[in-house]
Amino acid sequence: MIRNLNAIKLLSIFVLCTVIFGTNITKVNAQQLTSRNSTQNSNVKEISISSNRWDNGLAHTPPMGWNSWNHFGCHINEDIIKQTADAIVESGMKEAGYKYIVMDDCWMDDHRDSNGKLTSDPKRFPHGIKWLADYVHKKGLKLGIYSSAGTKTCQGLPASLDHEKTDAQTFASWGIDYLKYDNCYNQDRPLEERYTAMHNALKSVNRSIVFSICEWGVKRPWEWADKLGNLWRTTGDIRDSWESMISILDQQVGLYKYAGPGHWNDPDMLEVGNGGMTDTEYRAHFSLWAILDAPLMAGNDLRHMSSETKNILTNKEVIAVNQDPAGNQGHKVTDNGEQEVWAKKMSDGSVAVILLNRGEDNAFMTTSAKAIGLPSASEYKVRNLWKHQDSSTEDLVRSYVPSHGVAMFRVWAK
């Protein structure tokens, strides 16, 4: 009797939680789990996990676009944003999937207006943000903006802490589609509380806005930020160097299980084309960000890019790996110090694979169909995603890989 009463109590609490918190019970089948757990784990049983991830219907694949910070820093104005929108269309980047144009820090005036609202810098944005959003929307693109969960932005301008409702309403009234929300001047107030306040404010406005949480990986956001936003930075800021890019890559190991449609790990924006790395290194950077299901936010000056930069950013076969609808983030399969193999299970049963050579010497690298998680077969089709060539193999996937470079393939069991 007592046991029955306890069971009834437990059941009631569970039902109540489901109603109050909108908890979804998500079925995860063996195949999904196997793909998340790479090749080592082939006999996982079907289980149920509960999840209260926020679903605002956005970012079902990693967001693609451009952000002003890596190249322009604080020196932005409406001409740059307009011309970047033009360049995205003319360069073929829009066609390749890039759609969010995000103005980072420094778009705002140094004080709120007489109604307490954020307003754009009148000299650099004389027509205001609504006008800019209209321009960007007419091109079939979307406009993003930046603020901080603090009293000021990282550059010391007005930010949104304790103004969340007003600011979310302002952004919605301008037609903003994406908010990057930073963590400077946070008064040491609890992280989750500050990001929840903006989450609630965004939920209350009549517009769907991608919520990009930028707390730099401080409090393991992969463990909680999917309840609040669509993506979360996992590290501090990227710099335009091989060392910085590789150190960020190293900090992504083990995070693959937290990502999925609508909810992505964000290892920061791309540096491709900014001049601090060679084209070989930029190809590696782009390939790795693609297999990590990272947001592909270009960070260079799109108005003046070399044809090689454009070729890297618009490689549709690499982008298809990133934008695969299953959203199984790739993960590291093997690592011998200088040489690493990364793999990602695709929704059509193929596997995308990167052979990464971090060493100072060119190398000949090898992996196998089994090692990257493919079922056994008499033959495999191999597509080279940078050379755009097909070949076949009975088992081994091999390639010459330049120093600080990658070879990237997609492999199907025949």
Pick the closer one to ligand GLA by CB: 214 or 346. 214
Tokens of 119: 């307003």
Q: Which of 403, 326, 391 is nearest to 362 (CA)?
A: 403
Q: Which two tokens stand for residue 344?
A: 């990602």
Instruction: Give the interface segment with ligand GLA, choosing from 4-12, 93-101, 124-132, 153-161 (CB under 6 A).
Output: 153-161
- Residues contacting residue 311 through CB under 8 Å, at least 6 positions apart: none
- How crowded is residue 379: how many other Cβ atoms within 10 Å of its Cβ? 13
The closest residue (CB) to ligand GLA is 154
CB-based burial label for 171 (10 Å; 0-12, 13-18, 19+)? buried
The window from 51-59, 119-127, 150-158, 395-403 that contacts ligand GLA (CB under 6 A) reads 150-158
Q: In this complex, which beta carbon is closest to ligand GLA, that of residue 214 or of residue 371?
A: 214
Shortest distance, CB of residue 171 to ligand GLA, whole angstroms?
16
Q: How many residues bind ligand GLA (CB under 6 A)?
A: 10
Residues 73-132 that bind ligand GLA (CB under 6 A): 104-105
Beta carbons of 195 and 216 less than 8 angstroms apart: no
Q: What is residue 296's DSSP assignment?
A: E
Minimal distance, residue 251 CB to ligand GLA, in Å: 14
State which residue, 129 or 154, has the beta carbon closest to ligand GLA: 154
Q: Which is nearer to ligand GLA, 106 or 284 (CB)?
A: 106
Task: Determine whether 279 is an active site residue.
Answer: no
Nearer to ligand GLA, 22 or 73 (CB): 73
Binding mask 332-371 for ligand GLA (x = CB under 6 A): ----------------------------------------
Cβ atoms 182, 214 nearer than 8 A: yes
Query: Of 78, 182, 226, 240, which lies in the binding site for ligand GLA, with binding defined by CB under 6 A?
Result: 182
Residue corresponding to tokens 């949480």: 213
| Shortest distance (Å) from residue 157 CB to ligand GLA | 9
- Looking at 23, 155, 241, 278, which residue binds ligand GLA (CB under 6 A)? 155
Quick check: 271 binds ligand GLA (CB under 6 A)? no
Residues 328 and 249 sit within 8 Å (Cβ to Cβ): no
Nearer to ligand GLA by Cβ, of 105 and 340: the residue is 105
Catalytic residue among 182, 268, 301, 324: 182
Q: What phi and psi values does residue 408 have, to the nearest 5 degrees?
A: -130, 130
Q: How far is the CB of 193 from ligand GLA (least distance, A)?
A: 20
Q: How far is CA 408 from CA 278, 286, 380, in A?
A: 17, 11, 15
Q: Is 167 known to be catalytic? A: no
Q: Where are the beta strands (DSSP E) in 103-240?
A: 142-148, 178-182, 210-213, 231-233
- What binding mask, one character per residue, do residues 30-69 give for ligand GLA by CB under 6 A, x or -? ---------------------------------------x
Window 205-224: residues binding ligand GLA (CB under 6 A): 214, 216
Euclidean distance between CA atoms 365 and 67, whole angstroms:
35
Ramachandran bin of 95, using left for φ above 0, alpha for ψ from -120 to 50, beta for the remaining angles = alpha
Instruction: Out of 109, 121, 237, 335, point to the residue binding ligand GLA (CB under 6 A).
Output: 237
Stretch that binds ligand GLA, among 86-94, 149-157, 170-178, 258-266 (CB under 6 A): 149-157
Q: Which of 55, 109, 121, 237 is catalytic?
A: 237
Shortest distance (Å) from residue 162 CB to ligand GLA: 20
Q: Return d(Cα 289, Cα 281) in angstroms, integer.
A: 12
The region of 5-13, 152-160, 167-175, 378-386 touching ligand GLA under the rule CB under 6 A is: 152-160
What are the residues whose beta carbons fall under 8 Å from the beta carbon of 297, sequence distance 6 or more? Answer: 63, 64, 65, 66, 67, 100, 102, 269, 270
For the beta carbon of residue 276, count every other beta carbon within 10 angstroms.
14
CA torsion through residues 222, 149, 57, 59, sign = negative
What is the residue-wise DSSP string for 360-409? Answer: SS-EEEEEETTTTTPPP-S-EEEEETTTTEEEEESSEEEEEE-TTEEEEE
**Which of 80, 93, 108, 154 is close enough to bind ligand GLA by CB under 6 A?**
154
Using CB under 6 A as the criterion, which residues of the chain lie in contact with ligand GLA when the complex forms? 69, 104-105, 153-155, 182, 214, 216, 237
Would you please indicate which residues are annotated as catalytic (active-site) residues? 182, 237
